[in-house]
Chain A
Amino acid sequence: MLELRVASRRGEFELDLAFEARGGATTVIVGESGAGKTSVLRVAAGLDRPDWGRVVLDGEVYTDTEAGVHLPPWRRNLGYVSQDYSLFPHLTVAENVAFGLRAAGVPRGEVGARVARVLERTGIHPLLRRKPTTLSGGQQQRVALARALVLDPRLLLLDEPLAALDLQTRRQVRGELRRLLQELGTTTLYVTHSPLEALLFGDRIIVLEAGRISQTGDRDDLLRHPRSRYVAELVGTNFFAGRVAAAETGEKVRTADGDLAISRAEDPADLFVTVDPREITLHTHRPEGSAQNVFEGPIVELAPEPPGGERVRVVLGTRPPLVAEVTREAVASLGLAEGVMVHASFKATGIRSYR
């Protein structure tokens, strides 16, 4: 288990967070660039010393600013794969992978065997005499991983391990990496800006916004109960924060962007509200019927979902702003296009509210 607490200030940027990463599991830190994800990894690795903080791995104190403890990176039992892989350009693949073993003073005879074993495991054995600059991105990624794993680290730190790869390679490497991490069972801290990777890799997901944790949970928590607009956007749902207010026609949630009708009577309280984009129906004329929530506005953007897929996400300039998801046929039959005025409707029961 990794326990990490850090409070640091670098100019305008403030990092202030605490979490525990379960032993043997993958904890994903997801956030936009500049949220402080890499800074967290660098503190865990010992590359940066926090103003205040504590890093404890399996009971061993790596950093404790109050006690004046800061173990340098080369005394920590961890593997670190940086975003650009940072393979030593003057060394071959085999020498890169052997680098850590040699530095750790592993006996000469053992080095070769361990290098060969990890190269087999990551499927790059045929490359062992090549120089890193002659490798493709996917191959470099595997070498970087092998170089970290050969030391059998107790903690694996991965900084955007797939971000430097082109789309096609990324899909392939993603699958391999998932299998590998599951087989290894090493405590892993995985940093990414990609919601997809977060949901795919994270046994536990930590959402980082502007240097602070905005939400922590497993996949389902995040998908069902986003607690910030950022998380809602990550999981692709409509999200509002509001307060219950009684109205003549039933219960309403008052948000900064307008009122939404909800079905369940609740005590007046602050709550979060999500509307699944697939619950929203679009009409060219004002609909008649039972839907209590009807909003009119222009179409701002049409985007296939997934890219090139059968469904289309429709971003609406309504108040409150909404995103609907409809089929391709619906787009064609309704004549939907950017700028067209539409009515968006959904039932009060289509709203999920939680505190």
Chain B
Amino acid sequence: MGSIRIEGRGSEGVALGLHVAASAVLCTLLGLPVVALVLRVPPGRLLERFQDEALVAALRLSLLTSVAATLVVMLLGLPLAYLLTTRTFPGKRLIEAMLELPMVLPPTVAGVGLLLAFGRQGLAGGALAALGLSIPFTTLAVVVAQVFVAAPFFIAATRAGLAEVDRRYLDAAATLRSSPSRTLFRVMLPLAFPSLLAGAAMTWARALGEFGATITFAGNMPGVTQTMPLAVYLALQTDLDAAVALSVLMLALSLGVLLGIRLVTPGLLPVGARARAPGR
């Protein structure tokens, strides 16, 4: 028996070693660029950078557009996620697939698509022009591009959260005089709130980092469409230190959001839906 146990422990040890080695490789690949960025920051120059008007403009624009995009996504995404969670209808699978597409599409392709749809010569361009609207190469275009690429994150998280809410709570609410819309606001949303929050944070982080669709659809005009990622790219051509400083700022923002999500939503699961059954 003793020898078997030692053999078992030996092979377990090898397996553990392999897991650790694989993890180390991947963590290095993902982590090293971050470390490199932080190490390259020229001390004292970071602060100086924030007196740069162009940078401040880019930062302000990034915050403005990403918050706007997140609000739009939440406002329109919540009803959509609710319908997709609670109803079945023809073409649902197609809509679901389309909603996931922006996650895998190269953002520049998304930008081209946006131009062909909402550009002056685009599908909806004429209709928009009739309304006196021209979207491309405006701040609005930045928001539209961000909504396009970031919406799937909110919709996916919200759908998962709503679906996690146990049916029996909805039944209980219905027998307590609560109409479906009241049940949505008083039962489903509170129970799914952590998922909604996580989805909104992911959406905001994705919108903040948006580059490809923005530069294609909105262009790169300082103060109007030049967001932080675009400013980083531009700075890279002329001033590496500036690019690094901007990058570190982006990095800090993104890391803050991701850490924040983890603090607010342990395990990304709605706490309420996991309540234990009585006395079993």
Contacts and interface: CB of A to CB of B under 8 A. Distances in A.
A346 interface: no
Nearest to B172: A86
Contact of A78 (B175, B179, B191): B175
Interface in A27-83: 45-47, 72-74, 76, 78-80, 82
Contact of A47 (B171, B178, B280): B171
Interface string A126-164: 000000110111101100000110010000010000001
Given A88-B187, A100-B177, A103-B182, A80 B172 contact: yes
Nearest to A80: B175
Interface string B181-201: 010001100110000000000
Interface residues of B, number: 26
A87 B171 CA distance: 11
A74 B175 contact: yes
B106 to A, nearest CB: 41
A88 B172 contact: yes
Contacts, number: 89
Contacts of A73: 171, 174-175
B112 interface: no
A349 to B, nearest CB: 47
A44 to B, nearest CB: 10
A73 B176 CA distance: 8
Nearest to B178: A103
A355 B187 CA distance: 54
A141 B171 contact: no
Which of B173, B177, B273, B276 gathers the greatest number of chain A CB atoms within 10 Å? B177
B172 A137 contact: no
A164 B279 contact: yes
A258 to B, nearest CB: 44
Contacts of A135: 278
A266 interface: no
A90 B173 CA distance: 13
Contacts of A165: 278-279
A148 B173 CA distance: 11
B272 interface: yes
Nearest to B276: A133
B176 A99 contact: yes
A182 interface: no
Contacts of B280: 164
A84 B178 CA distance: 19
Interface in A82-118: 82, 84-90, 99-100, 103-104
8 nearest A-B residue pairs (beta carbon): A137-B279, A100-B176, A89-B275, A80-B175, A73-B174, A86-B172, A103-B178, A103-B177
Given A82-B172, A136-B279, 10 more contacts: A74-B174, A74-B177, A84-B278, A89-B275, A90-B191, A99-B186, A103-B176, A103-B177, A148-B176, A164-B280
